[in-house]
Amino acid sequence: MNNEEFRQWSLRAAEWGADYRAGLPDRPVRPLVEPGDIFKSIEVSPPERAEPMDTIFADFEEKILPGMTHWQHPRFFAYFPANAAPVSVVAEYLVSAMAAQCMLWQTSPAATELETRVVDWMRQALGLPEGFSGVIQDSASSATLAAVLTMRERTLDWQGNKKGLSGQARLRIYSSDQVHTSIDRAIWVAGIGEDNLVRIPASGRFRAMDTTALEAAILADKKAGLLPAGIIACVGGTSTGGTDDIAGVAAIAKRHGLYLHVDAAWAGSAMICEEYRHFWAGAAFADSIVFNPHKWLGAQFDCSIQFLRDPESHVRTLAIKPEYLKTHGHDGIINYSEWSVPLGRRFRALKLWFLLRAYGLDNLRTMIRNHVAWSEGLAERIGGEPGFELVTEPMLSLFSFQHQAPPGVDPDEHNLRLVNAINDDGRIYLTQTRVNGRVAIRFQVGQFETTAADVDAAFGIITEIARTLT
């Protein structure tokens, strides 16, 4: 592809993207395909000779697009959002065109310095105090892994990376059962072992971990000769929005000298609104906090910010400095590859810079407030509808519900049939979870272009399809 062809196809791709976004309301949210349909449509062997772009693009539209779930659809109410505000997509065009490897200051000074600035913009926007610095990771999973590795190294007096875990006392990390499964993976990858992730019982409206039980578990482990290393607290858990008493947990962490990591991957975006900050009161005392602008805030995936109270411990855990990665003649510069597990890094700060400037915090706050209000209104309507029951009340814009099963029908089976029927219908997309062992249907409002009319339509669709199953 020469430069003129690159120009032509770049323009066509941009026009396609605008048309795609404009036409999303007319598409089913989830594709109406069976497992294997797309795989069988792709040629078995790679091409020996070059094919024209017209053919490739036509195959994309004919074979690939029909198998895509449309995460930017205004009636996407499943999981959590993975928003890509149009302005962030434009920024990603520029990032892809430059294709810079932003691992060191010298490999792209602007990428490093813009990252430092926009992370501090976000610190201010979320109401976190001065003293926190941070880094843009690819995802909350990577941020949590980095936090767990730092817990491990700090507890082992920085000998884990050098000597390994063999022969060391068993490390212990504490969380509720409401945290994301990325915490389990971080424990695995860090070599700590699943058996050493201590699950603290959760209860109450917000399913917070019991701080009395937390401290008792820490004391019991110390008495048994184990090594408590850290606590992972949750604000806005994936299942039903589980949210811990961060201030209470932080006090226990301080008392026992433990590293505290706060996972606010989804709910952290809402903290740009001052009235929601009570949900993470005490977060200023955490050692690290992660939130994902690529969820609710509108930055295209991937873009996850990890705030750090003591970046030196973090860098001491992760940094490797071979001669070929040194920047000679400059002291005190930041090389963000030393703040993350991967060496290679995308220019993630650009889309966040574009987004914050193009929308401003006022517009982003309005969007989040609308989503919360619409979700609360829908929860009230569903809770008052005959045959429906709220299982968990709204935590910000997330709640869950159940529909009453007909006589003789297992309630879990009935609610799974309902959520599958809703998704097969295609007009909205929901997901399920389990609360106290029983199936519940999740509903969250968070897609960037969702309107009140979309949420209202969801109520009609849910109740209409439920009637067909009774």
| pLDDT reported for residue 163 | 85
Mean pLDDT of the chain: 92
Alpha helix positions (H), 231-301: 246-256
| pLDDT reported for residue 197 | 93
* pLDDT classification of 463: cutoffs 50, 70, 90: very high
Over residues 73-122, the pLDDT tens digits come to 999 999 988 999 999 999 999 998 888 888 888 888 888 999 999 999 99
Statement: residue 322 has pLDDT above 70:
no
First to last CA, the chain: 58
Q: Could you tell me the two tokens for 274? A: 């001052």
Over residues 329-364, the pLDDT tens digits come to 445 688 888 898 888 888 899 999 999 999 999 999
The secondary element (H helix, E strand) that includes residue 174 is strand 171-176
- Which has more confidence, 222 or 179? 222
With 0-12 CB in 10 A as exposed, 13-18 as middle and 19+ as buried, what is 66?
middle
| pLDDT reported for residue 321 | 65
Statement: residue 326 has pLDDT above 60:
no
Whether the link from the prior residue into 210 is cis, omega within 30° of 0, is no
Q: Are 430 and 63 in contact (CB under 8 A)?
A: no
Q: Inter-axis angle of helices 411-425 and 452-468, to 10 degrees? A: 130
Statement: residue 325 has pLDDT above 60:
no
Parallel/antiparallel/unpaired status of strands 227-234 and 171-176: parallel
| pLDDT reported for residue 272 | 97
Number of CB atoms found within 10 A of residue 183's CB: 23
| Single-letter amino acid, residue 462 | I
429: Cβ–Cβ under 8 A, 6 or more apart, which residues? 29, 30, 69, 73, 75, 76, 77, 78, 422, 423
Alpha helix positions (H), 126-195: 140-155, 160-163, 181-189
* pLDDT classification of 328: cutoffs 50, 70, 90: very low
Over residues 369-404, the pLDDT tens digits come to 999 999 999 999 999 999 999 999 999 999 999 999
| pLDDT reported for residue 331 | 56
Nearest to 308 by CA among 284, 332, 292, 331: 284
- At 59, give phi and psi (nearest 5°): -65, -35
Over residues 167-187, the pLDDT tens digits come to 888 999 999 888 877 888 889
Statement: residue 324 has pLDDT above 50:
no
CA angle 212, 132, 158 (to 5 degrees): 70
| pLDDT reported for residue 458 | 96
| pLDDT reported for residue 151 | 94
* pLDDT classification of 136: cutoffs 50, 70, 90: very high
| Average pLDDT of the residues in 449-470 | 94
E runs forming strands in 188-296: 197-200, 202-203, 208-209, 227-234, 259-263, 288-291
* pLDDT classification of 405: cutoffs 50, 70, 90: very high
Instruction: Please list, residue by residue across 10-28, b when 16 or more beta carbons sit within 10 angstroms of its beta carbon and e when fewer do.
Output: eeeeeeeeeeebeebeebb
| Average pLDDT of the residues in 266-279 | 96
- At 176, give phi and psi (nearest 5°): -85, 180
| Average pLDDT of the residues in 311-338 | 71
Alpha-carbon distance of 243 to 19, in angstroms, equals 39
Least confidently predicted of 20-29, 151-160, 179-188, 356-365? 179-188
